[in-house]
Structure 1
Amino acid sequence: MGYYLADGIYLQWATFVKTIPCPQGKKNKHFAEAQEAYRKDVERAFGVLQARFAIVRGPARPWDLQTLTDIMKACVILHNMIIEDERDDGGEQNIDYEQIDKIPLSQVSLERTPDIMEFIQQHRRIRDRETHSRLQSDLVEHLWQIYSQS
């Protein structure tokens, strides 16, 4: 299960790694500084992608991890290609980016399918506060090991 770097307003869910308010000790202070710096970098980069690609602004829950990975990689690649093209291109091109093929509607089932039950179980695991605490503690130790070896 992946996680997001978050600030203090988020709940203590397994998918959010928050900073430590008023950190005590070198390990916790180092973690808080690193978490806040990485979070700001990610927010900046993600904001650029959200401004450019509507798919990044939408909800992510319906997709599985591989699909999300593919979407984000595609957006990063496209963004880099656009930036590179804008640097190289002295002239203007008229390209219609709003050309969208019609997507057929899918049937919705109201039955309890294995996919729905798996989604509910995963949602319960995400909301586990103990997993949140373990993840934060493990990351504090991991960052401290990297920091102390350098």
Structure 2
Amino acid sequence: MSPLFDDMYNGIASDSSFDVCGRSYRYEYYLMNEIYQERACFVKSLSCPNDRKRLKFKRAQEKKMSKVMCTYIILHNLILEDECNAMCGYNKNEIVPSTQAFEVGSEEYLAKREIIYDVETHHVLRRYLTEHIWIVDHIDLKALPFDDLGDQFSNEYIL
């Protein structure tokens, strides 16, 4: 089990509520590429966008992911540079609380697991984010204008 979901299972995940296209979501979501499984809090990129709307979504997501990666690399390098300096005090008497407050297999665990593993929520969230990005005019993708795509895509789309 991934520690990424521990806070959700323990009921202590921060409330990152947001609305997209009139639907409310409680937990934050993570931008992912195709190698990750479909989860309610993962928004995977589209490997083969088949219309302008999905292409815009894919480009917006790739742009955001590249910014996140640059930030990660910068922070990683800062940590490496500062490797000799302690970033926090060490207390050998400190008691670290258990990170697993739930019992695996319990009803509570299974209910939260069902929320996290909900594939339908993954697809609906991605569809709504695609719709949102499509109607937002101020997203500058610094990519080929959609007019340059010619008739490569039809105006009809299936979500």
SS at match of 1:17: strand
Output the amino acid matched with 1:122.
K
Q: Relative contact order, CA 8 A, sep 6+: which one is greater?
A: 1
Structure 1 gap segments, 5+ residues each? 55-81, 83-93
Equivalences for residues 98-109 of structure 1 within 5 A: 99-102=89-92, 103-106=94-97
Corresponding residue for 1:6? 32
Alpha-carbon spacing, 1:106–1:131, altered in 2? closer, same or farther (3 Å) = closer
2:129 is equivalent to residue 122 of structure 1: no
Structure 2 gap segments, 5+ residues each? 1-26, 141-159
4+ runs deviating over 6 angstroms: 107-111
Output the amino acid matched with 2:95.
P
- The partner residue of 1:28 within 54, 72, 83 is 54
Under a length normalisation based on structure 1, what TM-score does the superposition of the two structures give? 0.57
Structure (1 or 2) with the greater helix fraction: 1
Identity of counterpart residues, as a percentage? 28
Shift of 1:106: 4.2
Structure 1 CA distance for aligned equivalents of residues 100 and 63 of structure 2:
44
Structure 2 CA distance for aligned equivalents of residues 110 and 11 of structure 1:
25
Q: 2:133, 2:139 within 8 Å by CA — same for their partners in 1?
A: no
Corresponding residue for 1:59? none
Output the amino acid matched with 1:144.
W
User: Number of aligned pairs?
Assistant: 110
Equivalences for residues 27-46 of structure 1 within 5 A: 27-46=53-72
Equivalences for residues 84-103 of structure 1 within 5 A: 96-97=86-87, 99-102=89-92, 103=94
Equivalences for residues 27-66 of structure 1 within 5 A: 27-50=53-76, 52=78
Alpha-carbon spacing, 1:117–1:49, altered in 2? closer, same or farther (3 Å) = farther
Under a length normalisation based on structure 2, what TM-score does the superposition of the two structures give? 0.55
Corresponding residue for 2:126? 136
